[in-house]
Structure 1
Amino acid sequence: MTATESLVAPSAAPPPAPAPGERRSYLQQVLDSSWVTITFAILMALVASSVLIAAANAEVQAAAGYFFSRPGDLLGAAWSSVFDAYSTLFRGAVFDYEATGLRRVRPITETMTASVPLIFAGLGLAVGFRSGLFNIGAQGQVLVGAAGATFVGITFALPPVVHLVLAVLAAFVIGALWAGIAGFLKARTGANEVIVTIMLNSIAFYLVSYLLTTSLLRQGGSRPISPAVAQTATYPLLLGPGFRLHLGFVVALLAAVAVWWLMERSVLGFRFRAVGANQSAARTAGIKVNLVFVLVMLVAGGLAGLGGAAQVLGTDKSLQASTAGSIGFDAITVALLGRSTPLGTVLAALLFGALRAGSPLMQTSAGTPIDIVQVIQATIVLLIAAPPLVRELSLVHRLAALFGYKSQEARS
């Protein structure tokens, strides 16, 4: 094999496919969902949430009392409540047409900022999913990565660029090693990665909580929170002090390109996909499946660790036990919603970033509980996890079938 062949996999060679009659894994069925199915799942989630928004509105409840005498009042109040909720969500997440000057475009920058850690963590999970590993440990990997970046950011005094690069590398390495524990245990003992990574999430939370009470991360004060990281270790702002969008967004997009190259153009990525498609065939072809398990988890954990670094070095500037929030769990939906492709993951992360950025204004201006965003996300998870149900309910899917369109699911 030449040097070029060792770096780049032939694009014409697909990973091994399941043998005829062999049932695809549940994860493969979910990842093979068509864009029609995914789009319809999002629309169904919005419709279901609209019902809840209308039902919780006081004017709708009042109009329901005399529905049979004046049904138009109920329908008008329901439409008004739903329109107000989603219009304010749009204003808070994309473009605030009621604001003036640069404040009009500030919402879209907040969406991009909120999407950064989701892009990193989602990419890490996507690598695992396409390799046949259901990694549920992004939450812990994000948290330990954030802790590593914080330690470098508050401990060392270095020049600006060097300090930032070192903090980011620390987050990548620590996140990779943390996820590598699950990969090693699966390779050596066959331990289920779902159980191990869930356990590692809890261990990471309590470990970081403890470290925040010691001089290692707290370094003074009584609250379990780290000092602010040094200015030299923070991601620089892209649009000035009036906006929170930072360089981490550009780094996240570059990471997406790197993951695309890894999975689609490199020999290592070909092996990842081959193991994800059919472990038995990959082993027969000479691929060291157990080594792939470890390498996949190292890459996935490193990317999730970068998400933790972005949250600390770009947005929060200090570390708490709650810094990871629900990033790791939301990233599962992001990766599945994006079909575990880099482009799809980025778009799904932007969608979830928009929900995060727009929900506060939706609550204050429209009076819609912020929990409705959680309902939207949970409904999307439910529908993405049940692609056959969505296909049966999707009128668009049926119309597409009438015109001869076949999704990847149907072709499989």
Structure 2
Amino acid sequence: MATWFLIVIYLAFVSLGLPDSLLGSAWPVIWPEIGSSLGSAGLISMIIAGGTIVSSLASGRMIQRLGTGKITLLSCLLTAVSLLGFSMAPSMFWFIFLAIPLGLGAGAVDAALNHYVAENYKAHHMNWLHCFWGVGATMGPIIMATYMAGQHSWRGGYAAVAIIQAILVIILFVTLPLWKRVAAIRDLENSEDTVQDILREEKAESAFPTKVLQLRGVKPSLLAFLMYCGVETTVGLWGASYLVGTKNVTAEMAAGWISLYYGGITIGRLITGFITLKVHNQLLIRYGQLVTIAGGIILLLPFSASFSMLGFILIGLGLAPIYPGLLHETPARFGKEHSAKLMGYQMAVAYSGTTLLPPLFGLLAAKTSTDLFPVVVLILLVLMLFSVETVNRLLRKPGKVSG
């Protein structure tokens, strides 16, 4: 039963990743057809991320009322309907309108499953969970590229992903009773540990009556989440436009290359899931950031288009261990008594990076050109490295409260 339950959770994250990479891979051919502009993708991305922030912040109350299983089911249903609407959208207005339910559907399931896995499973499960997000994000551009090449239709790509989402909704509906059974078994197994955890939390809160944002290292940690999600989404959303506009790659080939970027994230998380059994998360996060910077440098250098593909793959591989590693380290770094509240803050800040940074690049690209894409990506990667290493340096010092 526990194995089937994990498979269901992983499938839910496949459905979470599928829509994330569609807009960026198809946008070079979407915006001329619907009479929009190149930079409008940033507005759609911002609305999706805004909806995600709202639903993730409300996820705690919704889970208490409906349970994680029903929230996951309803969220996937909402995204399936939204994607089907995208496939028929005649204008920019409908893209903006449908972006709202798409974002709302993604946020609740993301926050709920991340918190559940961080609390109940080990680091390799967190990496594999996000690996399955990568499976969905990798499949998206491949499906879109296939439809654009074969039928010359981005609409068919959106419709195909909507059908896949609908199949996942059926699977989640059929397995809905499994959530309650596994939850009951886990509650029974962990009841004694839960009581001890509550006592420890009450003792810690009375001994250290500090606000979460005053904990040493929290602020640069939040900045790291902002930079991570900002750069991950910026590369996914604008990578294809950069390849088409600056490197003169066809739209179909650009979509395929962006799928390799998401494939790098997916394969990297699959591998690091095993590596975490032997290597500490902190080292994996550091090595991952160095690999991303190497990929960013390759994009920046005046090489041929084929080298750009290598740069995207390296950025994807490097990003792989960072986000799940930072999430899983939250209880260990800042205390289990603060982790639930801090997890919510981290998710909100991360989605803020998704909301703000890609549209800002869209405005920049609309006023100048996509040539600045590698420069912006490299700056964000360096800022993320600085933020994470600042956290490591602060936490090596004695004391837990910032001055």
TM range (shorter): 0.3 to 0.5
In terms of fraction of residues, the more helix-rich structure is 2
* Greater Cα radius of gyration, structure 1 or 2: 1
Q: TM-score, normalised by structure 1?
A: 0.33
Q: TM-score, normalised by structure 2?
A: 0.33
Higher relative contact order (CA 8 A, sep 6+): 1
